[in-house]
Structure 1
Amino acid sequence: MKNLQDLRIFIETARLGSLSACARHLDLSPAVVSAAVKRLEAEIETVLFVRSTRRLRLTSKGEQYLKHCRDAVAILDNAYAGLHDNDAELTGTIRLSASSDLGRNLVLPWLDDFMQIHPKVTVQLHMSDSYVDLYGQQIDLALRYGAPKDSSLVALPIVLNNRPILCASKAYLDKVDNDIGSPKIPEDLTQHNCLCLGHDEKYLSEWTFEKEGKTKRVAVAGNRRSKDGDVVRRWAVAGQGIALKSQLDIAADLKAGRLVEVALDGWQVANYPLYLICPERRLIDPLFNAVKEYLIERVEGVLA
């Protein structure tokens, strides 16, 4: 199916932004990749890329055509997969990115269990609280909190009713009770040692709370901050201050009593849904669907 192969080459070239990178990724020669793009442009009588010595970018018509190509190839791949879902064991590589806290404490053991069930599957796990570039790095899937801002990404919900929880250890709350007291309303947090989490170049030093249609933003500060969510969680467990953490990340700590929720007279933080994200629909194959369903099942078990 030469024409389908040309579409795949076009999609990968657009994703990687380079003919040579596409050639390496698909194990083809640069000449084959270049010829496929030229053949496709000639067939549809449209210039798909603007080329220079250093850069390759889509034209406006190329961007429009890319979306349709992704959908078309995904439909064909899913149709093929549907014919062979029950023919063989699951195989392939899961190249997944997850945040540090979620990745270390939940996803890591979950993937070990998944691989026990499906021994022909291999895993590449990337853990970081920075947002990975799914187009620029060799990562196919990402578990991310919050809907992606990039509308070209495919986002499938793992859990929607997850929310950030204000939490601290009982030891910290007991320590402050005789001094400033436990916080009762959002403004009280300005008197407490707040453990701030950072993403990329910013730290989340303003926490937003909602109640009955009203919003309050509180500037918080403390003597500890980190860009690693697991570090912030460990500080909170150790009694070093108050943290704002995903319910999913601290569910085990709450059940074990290592952390307790700090209630603020009905003020809460908006839901923080978890999505499984991939750069394009053609990656939604039997392995992807099996991973997605397995993650949903495990998350529901944690939050039950």
Structure 2
Amino acid sequence: MIRIDDLGLFTRSAALGSFTAAALEADLLPGQVAAAIKRLERELDVRLFARTTRSLRLTAEGEQYLPTAHSVLEALKLGRENLRGENTPLRGALQVTAPSDLGRNVLLPWLSAFRREHPELTLRFVLSDQVADLFRDPVDVAIRYGSNEDANYVALPLAPWNRRVLVASPEYVERHGQPLTPDQLLEHPCLLYLQNGRVFDKWNLGGRTIQVSGPLFSDDADVVRRWALEGEGIACKSWLDVSADVIAGRLVVLLEDHPGNASPLSMVCPHRKQISPAVSQLYSWLREQFSRMERI
């Protein structure tokens, strides 16, 4: 019979890429984790990991079985939460991933406040501009930009009204002037960063696409916002990322007659069964916070 604890150690070992790391997380010895994996492999009659002295990776069978293990563990977690009732305090761990800029400058204080309201909840907050694989990575929900049309995921809208805007610092505008048409962006240094693993250098403005360039590039979108604040050039950013800077006068919006493309924000999870009470309450909390940021 398959042990639930062995399933949990299997998913954590796959996520961390190490029996030792999984053991440290679970307060066990590495040998105990290795023994749990061997028991699971015996029950399934397959080899789940390819092991060497230097690496640990899932076999093809392990890759195939991992989503099933996640589903079983989530179903058990949901069953426990449903038994407790709606008024029971939130417990357990909730892991959230979000883009770097939005996470640091907008979500961080909101998530801290949410956790204070639910002191028995453990919150793990992962920031990355790389898109997480929700079926493989140890993530409960992801906060994502984009339309999220992938039928494999459930997307709950947080800020469907959000758009990209062009911004620069007042000091930059004073020194270099501001573009009056999208074509004039070719005469200005534009600040570039990665979007979904590719350089975001094609900016859609008022239905037109302009390929821009500039001497500064980062794989962290928050760095680009900071360069804009320092007067290094023009950035094309989500309104959510720069609204506080615009309201405070640290940045100004350019080419307002040529609006940027839509950039809706959603909370994404693999399936509706994973919308636990903690996820549901976090979604309601965040949706209310974002509603106050809508640009008029």
TM-score by length of 1: 0.72
Pair 158,90 (structure 1): closer, same or farther in 2 beyond 3 Å: same
Does the aligned pair in 2 maintain the 1:208–1:218 contact within 8 Å?
yes
Q: Secondary structure at the match of 1:302?
A: coil
Q: Secondary structure at the match of 1:20?
A: helix
* Deviation sequence 1:14-38 (CA, Å, 0-9, x none): 2223333322222333343333323
1:207 to 202, 205, 209: 202
Q: Does 1:194 align with 2:190?
A: yes
Offset, 1:190? 1.3
Q: Does 1:289 align with 2:280?
A: yes
For residues 107-122 of structure 1, what are the structure 2 equivalents within 5 Å?
A: 107-121=107-121
**Structure 2 Cα separation of the partners of residues 116 and 9 of structure 1:** 29
2:179 to 162, 179, 182: 182
Q: Does 1:218 align with 2:211?
A: yes
Query: Which letter does structure 2 place at the counterpart of 1:195?
Result: L
Q: CA RMSD in A?
A: 4.3
For residues 220-259 of structure 1, what are the structure 2 equivalents within 5 Å?
A: 220-221=213-214, 229-230=221-222, 232-237=224-229, 241-255=233-247, 258-259=250-251
* Deviation sequence 1:119-166 (CA, Å, 0-9, x none): 444555555667789999987665444589x99998765434422211
Does the aligned pair in 2 maintain the 1:98–1:127 contact within 8 Å?
yes
* Deviation sequence 1:51-102 (CA, Å, 0-9, x none): 3333332222322222222223222221221111435322445555544532
1:298 to 289, 293, 296: 289
- How many pairs are equivalent? 294
Offset, 1:295? 1.7
Does the aligned pair in 1 maintain the 2:161–2:264 contact within 8 Å?
yes
Does the aligned pair in 1 maintain the 2:164–2:259 contact within 8 Å?
no
Offset, 1:188? 1.0
Offset, 1:250? 1.9
Does the aligned pair in 1 maintain the 2:203–2:236 contact within 8 Å?
no
Q: Secondary structure at the match of 2:3?
A: helix
| Residue 263 of structure 2: aligned partner | 272
Query: Which letter does structure 1 place at the counterpart of 2:16?
Result: L
* Deviation sequence 1:209-256 (CA, Å, 0-9, x none): 1655xx52422225x665654454355456554221111112234445
State, as a whole percentage, how many aligned pairs show the same letter. Answer: 38
Pair 126,66 (structure 1): closer, same or farther in 2 beyond 3 Å: closer
Offset, 1:299? 1.4
Does the aligned pair in 1 maintain the 2:167–2:236 contact within 8 Å?
yes
Does the aligned pair in 2 maintain the 1:160–1:273 contact within 8 Å?
yes
Query: Which letter does structure 2 place at the counterpart of 1:251?
Result: S
Does the aligned pair in 1 maintain the 2:67–2:136 contact within 8 Å?
no
Pair 28,296 (structure 1): closer, same or farther in 2 beyond 3 Å: same
**Structure 2 Cα separation of the partners of residues 66 and 122 of structure 1:** 24
TM-score by length of 2: 0.74
Does the aligned pair in 2 maintain the 1:197–1:203 contact within 8 Å?
yes
Does the aligned pair in 1 maintain the 2:190–2:212 contact within 8 Å?
no
**Structure 1 Cα separation of the partners of residues 65 and 95 of structure 2:** 27
Does the aligned pair in 2 maintain the 1:146–1:274 contact within 8 Å?
yes
| Residue 63 of structure 1: aligned partner | 63
Structure 1 regions of 5+ residues with no counterpart?
A: none
**Structure 2 Cα separation of the partners of residues 117 and 3 of structure 1:** 34
Does the aligned pair in 2 maintain the 1:71–1:281 contact within 8 Å?
no
Q: Secondary structure at the match of 2:292?
A: helix
Pair 140,111 (structure 1): closer, same or farther in 2 beyond 3 Å: same
| Residue 72 of structure 1: aligned partner | 72
Offset, 1:189? 0.2
Q: Secondary structure at the match of 1:22?
A: helix
**Structure 1 Cα separation of the partners of residues 95 and 249 of structure 2:** 34
**Structure 1 Cα separation of the partners of residues 223 and 57 of structure 2:** 40
**Structure 2 Cα separation of the partners of residues 151 and 53 of structure 1:** 39
